[in-house]
């Protein structure tokens, strides 16, 4: 009877080769297959068309070679107040703040940061917070504003801090709203995320996931998770936040922000950066950046005015607009 089994030593020698072949197949699939899957189609609408559908009166502004969307309200000769949104937001976040500031006689300017909102989007744009601060300065140049009080919400608070560090002669005051800056903030995501997103295949996978998963329904869930009372989120709120998903390359813009997110922490303590009149405003029930982070920021800025808005989450200017606007305008008037 003939023995058809391999000698045990031969079998052992073949296992490493088989394992190597299997790994090569897995790697090839990881790097090649994402490019074989077509990207889900998207509207790719022009910013002006999306804005018109929402009833917005802003415009695209050339800011140092980058076109970004700017909403403006109030008298041109009014004291300028520049509003900077947070991650996931855009100038839409200030829809209840702009008219209140305008009614009080201020020139209110809401800026879309690079690669978000209705701004032009590109993988090649630098979206680190220092660069975003320079974009805000370029918008001010384009609108003929030499100095202003800046209002920064969430991530926009860190952009505001970078603005103060890089353009100290152009900031008159600082308003930090549930701000992701200071001693309790990392200034961005983990560095490995940026390294991964730089890989073309991972970027492609990111596009596939974002285009297939991030829609109005998912946006509604995200927005509700930021509110103290999710029932307050309206269909109009969701439509506004989801509108940028209709613009060209919104997914690449978001991935570029994730790429740069780990390289935005301040390189100096917040107390050394902000040397202008400052007020900190926080939603008591913020589920994203808890009140303890606001208290740490207050301790790092002992001269800052401090306000807590009850029954408000991460977006107090939306959830409790009357209370927010009253605090903001009263503080602005006290600094004149």
Per-residue pLDDT tens over the stretch 30-80: 667 777 888 999 999 999 999 999 999 999 999 989 999 999 999 999 999
CA distance 128 to 259: 9
CA distance 328 to 317: 10
> What residues form DSSP beta bridges with 305?
279
**DSSP 8-class letter at 245:** G
Task: Kindly indicate the confidence band of residue 91, based on its pLDDT and cuts at 50, 70 and 90.
Answer: very high
Instruction: Note the pLDDT of residue 15.
Output: 61
Q: What is the CATH number of the domain that holds 77?
A: 3.40.50.1820
Residue 4 within any structural domain of the chain: no
Instruction: Note the pLDDT of residue 14.
Output: 62
Taking all residues of the chain, what is their mean pLDDT, rounded to a whole number?
91
Residue 68 within any structural domain of the chain: yes
Q: Provide the pairing of β-strand 107-111 with 66-73.
A: antiparallel
Residue 7 within any structural domain of the chain: no
- The region that residue 149 occupies, defined by phi over 0 for left and psi between -120 and 50 for alpha, beta otherwise, is beta
Residue 21 within any structural domain of the chain: no
Question: Mean pLDDT over residues 233-256, rounded?
Answer: 97
Per DSSP, which regions of the chain are E strands? 59-63, 66-73, 80-84, 107-111, 148-153, 171-177, 278-283, 305-309
Listed residue (277, 291, 39) closest to 150, CA to CA: 277
Residue 31 within any structural domain of the chain: no
**Domain residue limits at 169:** 47-334
The pLDDT tens digits for 132-187 are: 999 999 999 999 999 999 999 999 999 999 999 999 999 999 999 999 998 867 55
Does the pLDDT value for residue 97 go beyond 90?
A: yes
Does the pLDDT value for residue 1 go beyond 50?
A: no
The total number of structural domains that make up the chain:
1
Residue 58 within any structural domain of the chain: yes
Residue 144 within any structural domain of the chain: yes
């Amino acid at each position: 009877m003939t023995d058809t089994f391999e000698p045990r030593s031969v079998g052992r020698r073949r296992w490493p080769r088989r394992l190597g072949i299997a790994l090569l197949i897995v790697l090839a699939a990881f790097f090649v297959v994402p490019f074989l899957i077509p990207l889900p189609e998207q509207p790719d609408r022009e910013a002006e068309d999306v804005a018109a559908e929402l009833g917005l009166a802003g415009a695209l502004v050339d800011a140092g070679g980058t076109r970004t969307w700017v909403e403006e309200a109030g008298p041109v000769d009014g004291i300028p107040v520049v509003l900077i949104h947070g991650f996931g937001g855009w100038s839409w976040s200030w829809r209840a703040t702009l008219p209140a500031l305008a009614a009080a006689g201020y020139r209110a300017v809401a800026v879309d940061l690079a690669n978000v909102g209705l701004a032009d989007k590109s993988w090649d744009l630098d979206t680190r917070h220092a660069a975003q601060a320079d974009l805000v300065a370029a918008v001010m140049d384009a609108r003929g504003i030499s100095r202003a009080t800046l209002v920064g919400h969430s991530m926009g608070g860190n952009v505001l801090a970078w603005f103060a560090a890089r353009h100290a002669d152009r900031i008159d005051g600082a308003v930090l709203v549930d701000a992701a800056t200071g001693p309790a903030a990392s200034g961005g995501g983990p560095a490995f995320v940026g390294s991964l997103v730089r890989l073309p295949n991972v970027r492609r996978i990111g596009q596939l996931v974002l285009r297939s998963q991030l829609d109005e329904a998912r946006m509604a869930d995200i927005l509700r998770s930021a509110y103290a009372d999710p029932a307050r989120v309206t269909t109009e709120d969701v439509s506004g936040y989801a509108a940028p998903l209709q613009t060209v390359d919104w997914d690449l813009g978001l991935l570029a922000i994730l790429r740069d997110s780990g390289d935005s922490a301040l390189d100096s303590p917040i107390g050394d950066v902000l040397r202008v009149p400052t007020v900190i405003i926080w939603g008591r029930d913020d589920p994203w950046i808890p009140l303890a982070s606001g208290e740490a920021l207050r301790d790092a800025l002992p001269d800052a005015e401090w306000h807590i808005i009850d029954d408000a989450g991460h977006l107090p200017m939306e959830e409790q607009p009357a209370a927010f606007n009253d605090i903001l305008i009263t503080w602005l008037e006290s600094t004149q």
